[in-house]
A = this chain, B = another copy of it.
Amino acid sequence: MNVELVSIGDELLLGYTIDTNATFFARAAAELGIRVVRRSTVGDTAGEIADAVREALDRTGGVITSGGLGPTADDLTKASIAELFDRGLALDEGIWEALQARWKARKWPGEIPLANRTQALVPVGATVLTNRHGSAPGIWLEDPEGRWVAMLPGVPREFRGMTTDELLPRLTARMAATGASGLVVRSRTLRTTGIAESAIADALGKLSKDPMGVALAFLPGWEGVDLRLTVTDLPAEVADAQLEIAANALRARVGPWIYGEDETDLAGLVLDALRAMHRRAAVAESCTGGMLGMRLSAIPGSSDVFAGGIISYDNEVKVRHLGVRESTLRAHGAVSEETAREMATGARTRLGVDVGIGVTGIAGPSGGTPEKPVGTVWVAVDVLGNVQASRISSVGDRAEVRQRGTQAALALLLRALETR
């Protein structure tokens, strides 16, 4: 099945917003054998929207739009596409009631604004796609020849949720009905951390180019280097088997650095390991300022093994709340192995848990010295009194130094827990 995407919004066209919706849809659709053959982006102009959708319909017969469904005057998607299909707009009572209920639930002051009423307008004969992630419902509009447009909101969380909940099941059913299914694009991503991209390439040798006939992409980021394997235009079972063979070949070479696959989050693995051992953890953060706690608490249900911690941005907080010795700070400095170790131990003992994690570093842009340049981060973990530490040197901006430091602390803890 071939489809096109039309992304709508001046902010996309002007470059103020990066279009992650189109990216999300293309990846999810490829998994089902739906091919996006073209993507277009137009501004909030009725004529441009109608032109782009009409041209896309002429090429493929199926179009997904994102954006332009909000309550304000610059939201023109529904009206311009309804006109293209020669349909009027009518108020949908169900949507209007849901919008009013939503307004009440949020406890905003006053009555629901009249502007919201336009969100309840639906082209005559269209199907409403339920939005469980926001206020603007989606619309499915189809003409007698079977040409269709699915209109989704532009807010990424809503677009993604509705693609998963509503759109993909509908397209899958449609393909099954027309017998258009079969060949798929499949990919698997092996996630590494703690090893450089070029070191992986060296370790892989010839395998770094199309291992076992499967396309391989190196995707470096602050979490580490992801290795993406992709096969295209194969029956699903053949694709999966090829990916399995290629993944095993990579694991044989760089297995120790692989911590998971696809969307695996290192923080989730750490929480799982703690849970399996019935141990609880706390953090002591300096340069990361709370990022490590944020990562751990981002995962639902983390409270059973994550107690909290101390953000010891100031040295006085390190001394008073974590028990770091003033002599240690004087002798070795706040960014040192010794301080990181005492922070980890302080987090463990002061919060009365089994595991402490300490992070201290120079996030920049200033504050570096020849011995401790910007990007120097010490991480330490204390597991029941057994302390380990590790130093990382990041090249990158302040945000990246903090992200890499956080990731390194999680990696060190996971290894320490696994080897116990």
Contact = CB atoms under 8 A, between A and B. Distances in A.
Interface of A: 9-20, 22-27, 30, 36-44, 48, 52, 55, 70-74, 102, 105-108, 110, 112-116, 133-134, 155, 157, 185, 187, 196-199, 201-202, 208-210, 215-220, 228, 230, 283, 285, 287-294, 296-298, 300, 302-303, 306-314, 316-317, 320-321, 350-352, 363-366, 373, 393, 395-400, 402
A396 to B, nearest CB: 7
A36 B22 CA distance: 18
22 contacts: A13-B39, A17-B219, A38-B42, A38-B48, A70-B220, A72-B208, A73-B208, A74-B217, A105-B373, A110-B199, A114-B202, A133-B397, A157-B397, A285-B290, A285-B293, A288-B297, A293-B311, A293-B313, A297-B311, A308-B313, A309-B313, A321-B351
Given A72-B197, A114-B202, A300-B366, 17 more contacts: A9-B217, A15-B23, A15-B24, A17-B219, A70-B218, A113-B201, A115-B202, A133-B396, A133-B397, A283-B290, A285-B290, A288-B294, A290-B294, A298-B402, A308-B314, A309-B311, A316-B352
B18 A18 contact: yes
A10 B288 contact: no
Given A73-B208, A187-B14, A220-B155, A201 B395 contact: no
A117 to B, nearest CB: 10
A311 B307 CA distance: 8
Contacts of A396: 133, 157
A51 B378 CA distance: 48
What copy number does this chain have within its complex?
A: 2
Contacts of A134: 395
Nearest to A23: B15
Helix, strand, loop or mixed for chain A's interface? Answer: mixed
Given A283-B311, A311-B309, A317-B351, A44 B217 contact: yes
Given A39-B13, A395-B105, A400-B157, A309 B297 contact: no
A39 B5 CA distance: 11
A321 B351 CA distance: 8
A219 B67 CA distance: 11
Most interface-central of A9, A18, A185, A308 (chain B CB within 10 A): A308
A307 B5 CA distance: 48
A42 B48 contact: no
A76 to B, nearest CB: 12
Most interface-central of A198, A320, A366, A400 (chain B CB within 10 A): A198
A230 B9 CA distance: 13
Contacts of A217: 9-11, 16, 44, 74
A312 B308 contact: yes
A220 to B, nearest CB: 7
B10 A16 contact: no
A314 B17 CA distance: 38
A313 to B, nearest CB: 4
A288 B308 CA distance: 11
B393 A106 contact: yes
A15 B37 contact: no
